[in-house]
Structure 1
Amino acid sequence: MTGSTPSRVAAYHPAPSRFSAPRVAIVHYWLVSMRGGERVVERMLGLYPGADIFTHVYDPARMSDTIRQARIATSYIDRLPGSKRFYQYYLPFMPTALEQLDLSGYDLVISSESGPAKGVITDPGSLHVCYCHSPMRYLWDHYHQYRRAANPLARAAMPLVYNWLRQWDVNSSARVDRFAANSGFVRNRIRKVWRREADVIHPPVETSLFTPSLEVDDEYLWVGAMVPYKRPDLAVDAFNANGRKLLMVGQGSMLKSLKARARPNIRFVERLGFNELRRAYSRARAFIMTAEEDFGIAPVEAMASGRPVVAFAGGGALETVIADRTGVFFGEQEVHSLVDAVEQLESFLPHFDPNHAIERAEHFAPEVFDERMKRFIDEGSEGIRQWN
């Protein structure tokens, strides 16, 4: 789709709800930082203001006011030693922890899945929908990468423990009535791993918070966690090779080594405040996306700021960036491929219209998410009514 903005609130009249005043539960894997998954939880709370939240671990100091104001129940994982920091080490216990959460009496259960969340046990007459950010990557397609990076003890235990977790993960997918995936890329993962179909509902991006700038710098921008799957090394090596200016924003295990190998044309900033980040987006020559993301919010924020994107041609970027209109793609996660794409972007820039990028970003605005999610749930509610 190109050009015009989407029919964001096209006339939509939901079927009469099965519930006059439904009791709603939102199950989220853990609440320890405000990232994309937690922003989705916020939107869910906007759709269902009286919803209760269930989660494994909750750190109120790191949550938004919107989430803190909700009623929040935690699994026993929250009471284990060091859980707020080392929660991922308790992954093998999370299936039983989920099954001990009491969701009796809830009419609608919305599980937010990326870590274990969908495996809760619900009433027979309830509607359980799962909004899936991704099946657990460390169990499936990224398993070997995570195992190689694990310490020796964890590496030895993972084959046995993760084999059991995969069985539980597949079996618990049958407890969900309807799946929504945050991208077509994730929908294909759901089909591959769980053999279930899913509707695609892209996550909400606060596009209205970003505005274009009349002044653009000659510096490219990369933003993200400096960890292997994000491929920050690819950006460093490519800009070492082409000599163009690059600003890299983020923290992570690779930061020290990346700084050591980067040439003077590349500068690093570990953290930017939101206003500083907005300015960086709007003044960047272009945004660089080197990872294969499930969806990828940052490129949408860059387009909302009126700037083009240079993205790896895989994952969610193929659903957000439009080639030769809002950016360019590179086909391989190799230095020469990214270098060539940057040169292609340089040739494209004189023809780039910031309004095209802004219009494209509007397809992923929060109101679009709200509308599609409500429709998805209302359709599921109608199906449950027919079963009963």
Structure 2
Amino acid sequence: MSEPAPAVVTRRKGPRVAIVHYWLVGMRGGEKVLEALCRMFPEAELFTHVYVPDRISPALNAHKVHTTRIARLPFAPRLYQKYLPLMPRALEEIDLTGFDLVISSEAGPAKGVIAPPDAPHLCYCHSPMRYLWDQYHVYRDGAGALTRALMPYLAHELRQWDVTSAARVDAFAANSGHVAARIRKYWRREAEVVHPPVAVADFAPVAAGEVGDFYLWAGELAPYKRPDLAVEAFTRMGKPLVVIGGPDKTRKALAAQAGDNVRFLGQVPFPTLKDHMARCKALIFPGEEDFGIVPVEVMASGRPVIAYGRGGALDTVRDGETGLLFREQSVEGLTDAVARFEAAGLDRLPPEPLVAHAARFDEGAFRAGILRLLAGQGVAPGAVEAAPGRKTG
């Protein structure tokens, strides 16, 4: 009598995940979120328009990266944004057959991919494209003559595609309440707020006696972050301000207008930045940002924040508890805020509540939010069967 055939054991695999990111040409806030997603899905494959490995972290380079045809256009690593009108079609050409889950990381064109019928598509939105929507006129006014002439025609078509492609997404996560409101306004979709992960454990307070008498501005010296406002306000007040960040051209222009009480350190190593965050009297945050990681890093360092009361700061700064919010984005508004901050004794806040508040924005909170949204789409990472027709074993 023959022996029965052994049972065939099929090993269940985790989901095959595609993560779509707008472009990989440097490491900024969006790429830090991408790293966190890759830690959640270590076997994920990345899809992007342009990829420059030398500018990307080893954690991202460890993944298989696919590029669209944009990467094959002339000087794409440098001129990729000039090819924006070609990106919608390039996204729609991506073949995601066989993937169980699609996650798009959206601040430029990324969410417009066409997911397989049975694959949920979650979009983590850092911001709807600013140059099409709320910042359109700012970008157009600052563009060259040719771009300025073409923008009304190109932006019109891109807005139509942007809204249409939003309808393909199954669920949206927004990095702040500010971004969720813009998703609702421009795309008519609801989004759950999932704050981006902040490496709060990398920061720590110093002893009370080590805190200095200077205020701090830190970040990229971009116009929308309003470093000019901080420099002018502190020049008028004569109070010490340390400015950390580049590029050098902007730093030199601001330094030419600043008083002797304003020190510009340029771009500094992380230990120097960390030291100034822990020893500053407070962070000055006068810009309107979608989220803003720097205020959370400073609070994780045990120091308060004086922030313009719009945008992501409304999610991160508790007025009167972890800092102070001001409503008028002007030199007068900022100088008044500093006076109120000092009069209220907010520069003497104990560090422990600030550190505890900052901990709410760690990677664990981000991960929990993403998993909650995926569960709502019927996805349980690590327990999704392979798509039909794909060999398992």
Q: Mark yes or no: TM-score above 0.5.
A: yes
Larger CA deviation: 343-352 vs 356-365: 343-352
- Does structure 1 residue 236 correspond to structure 2 residue 227? no
* 2:170 corresponds to which of 174, 177, 180: 177
For structure 1, the 5+ residue unaligned runs are 1-18
- Does structure 1 residue 323 correspond to structure 2 residue 323? no
Secondary structure, counterpart of 1:27 in structure 2: strand
Match for residue 6 of structure 2? none
Shift of 1:227: 2.0
1:219-276 CA deviation, whole Å, 9 max, x = no partner? 1110122222111110011001111011111124633321111111111122011111
Match for residue 143 of structure 2? 150
- For 2:102 and 2:268, how far apart are their aligned partners in 1? 36
- For 2:181 and 2:113, how far apart are their aligned partners in 1? 23
**8 Å CA contact retained: 2:282, 2:347:** no
Match for residue 192 of structure 1? 185
Secondary structure, counterpart of 2:81 in structure 1: helix
Output the amino acid matched with 1:115: G
Match for residue 67 of structure 2? 74
Match for residue 289 of structure 2? 293
* 2:161 corresponds to which of 159, 168, 172: 168
**8 Å CA contact retained: 2:229, 2:286:** yes
Change (3 A) 1:290 1:350: closer
- For 2:350 and 2:369, how far apart are their aligned partners in 1? 29
Match for residue 9 of structure 2? none
Change (3 A) 1:118 1:265: same
* 1:122 corresponds to which of 109, 115, 127: 115
**8 Å CA contact retained: 1:56, 1:75:** yes
Shift of 1:179: 0.4
- Does structure 1 residue 39 correspond to structure 2 residue 32? yes
Match for residue 377 of structure 1? 374
Shift of 1:293: 0.7
**8 Å CA contact retained: 1:114, 1:134:** yes
Match for residue 135 of structure 1? 128
Shift of 1:148: 0.5
- For 2:244 and 2:347, how far apart are their aligned partners in 1? 26
**8 Å CA contact retained: 1:228, 1:254:** no
Match for residue 342 of structure 1? 338
- For 1:86 and 1:287, how far apart are their aligned partners in 2? 34
Output the amino acid matched with 2:49: H
Percent of aligned positions with the same letter in both sequences?
Answer: 52
* 1:359 corresponds to which of 356, 363, 367: 356
TM-score (norm 2): 0.91
**8 Å CA contact retained: 2:19, 2:103:** yes
Match for residue 244 of structure 2? 249
Secondary structure, counterpart of 1:130 in structure 2: strand
Match for residue 54 of structure 1? 47
- For 1:352 and 1:164, how far apart are their aligned partners in 2? 51
CA RMSD of aligned residues (A): 1.4
Output the amino acid matched with 1:185: H
Say which one has the larger Rg. Answer: 2
Output the amino acid matched with 2:212: D
TM-score (norm 1): 0.92
Output the amino acid matched with 2:290: D
Please give the residue correspondences for 1:245-284 in structure 2 after superposition, counting only pairs within 5 Å: 245-252=240-247, 254-284=250-280
- For 1:90 and 1:363, how far apart are their aligned partners in 2? 38
Secondary structure, counterpart of 2:378 in structure 1: helix
- For 2:157 and 2:333, how far apart are their aligned partners in 1? 40
Secondary structure, counterpart of 2:377 in structure 1: helix
- Does structure 1 residue 208 correspond to structure 2 residue 201? yes
**8 Å CA contact retained: 1:250, 1:271:** yes
For structure 2, the 5+ residue unaligned runs are 1-11, 385-393
Larger CA deviation: 273-282 vs 246-255: 246-255
Change (3 A) 1:337 1:129: same
